[in-house]
Amino acid sequence: MARTSQQTPAPSPAGLVAAEPADIQRLVEDLDGMLNRLRLGAIREQLDGLLEEAARRQLNLREALAWLCAAEVASKEQRRLSMAMTIAHFPFVRTLEGFEFEAQPSIDPGKIRDLATCRWVANGDNVVLLGPPGVGKTHLEVALGREAVARGYTVQFTTAMELLGSLVKGQQQGTLEMRLAQYAKPKLLIIDELGYLPLEPAAGHLFFQLISRRYEQGSVLISSNRPVEEWDEVFGAQVVAAAILDRLLHHSHVVTIRGDSYRLREKRRSGLFRPQAGGSSSAGIGGLPPPTPAKEV
Ligand code: ADP
Ligand code: MG
**pLDDT per residue as tens digits for the range 57-72:** 999 999 999 999 999 9
Instruction: Name the closest ligand to CA 112.
Output: 1
Report in angstroms the alpha-carbon separations of 121 from 124, 151, 167, 217, 296. Answer: 5, 10, 24, 10, 29
263 lines ligand 1 (CB under 6 A): yes
136 lines ligand 1 (CB under 6 A): yes
Spatial CA neighbour of 208 closest among 165, 175, 248, 169: 248
pLDDT at position 281, please? 36
- Is residue 4 scored above 80 in pLDDT? no
pLDDT at position 5, please? 53
262 lines ligand 1 (CB under 6 A): yes
- Is residue 261 scored above 70 in pLDDT? yes
Percent of the residues in the chain that have a pLDDT greater than 70, as a whole number: 85
Q: Which of 100, 139, 226 to mutate to test the pocket of ligand 1 (most atoms within 8 A of CB)?
A: 139
| pTM across the whole model | 0.80
Binned at pLDDT 50, 70 and 90, residue 273 comes out as: low
Cα 293 to ligand 1 centre (Å): 21
138 lines ligand 1 (CB under 6 A): yes
Q: In this predicted model, what pLDDT tens digit does every residue of 13-47 receive, in sequence order?
A: 665 666 788 888 999 999 999 999 999 999 999 99
Look over the chain and give the mean of its residue pLDDT values, rounded to a whole number: 87
The answer to whether 195 touches 222, Cβ cutoff 8 Å, is no
Torsion of CA 80, 82, 88, 92, to 10 degrees: 170
100 lines ligand 1 (CB under 6 A): yes
What integer is the mean pLDDT of 201-222?
Answer: 92
- Is residue 12 scored above 70 in pLDDT? no
Cα 136 to ligand 2 centre (Å): 7
The answer to whether 214 touches 250, Cβ cutoff 8 Å, is no
Across 234-271, b (16+ Cβ under 10 Å) vs e yields bbbbeebbebbbebbeeebeebebebbbbbbbebeeee
What integer is the mean pLDDT of 193-201?
Answer: 86
Spatial CA neighbour of 157 closest among 198, 196, 187: 187
Q: Which amino acid is it at 283?
A: A
pLDDT at position 119, please? 98
- Is residue 9 scored above 70 in pLDDT? no
Binned at pLDDT 50, 70 and 90, residue 200 comes out as: confident
pLDDT at position 202, please? 87
Lowest mean pLDDT among 124-128, 184-188, 215-219: 215-219
What integer is the mean pLDDT of 3-14?
Answer: 61
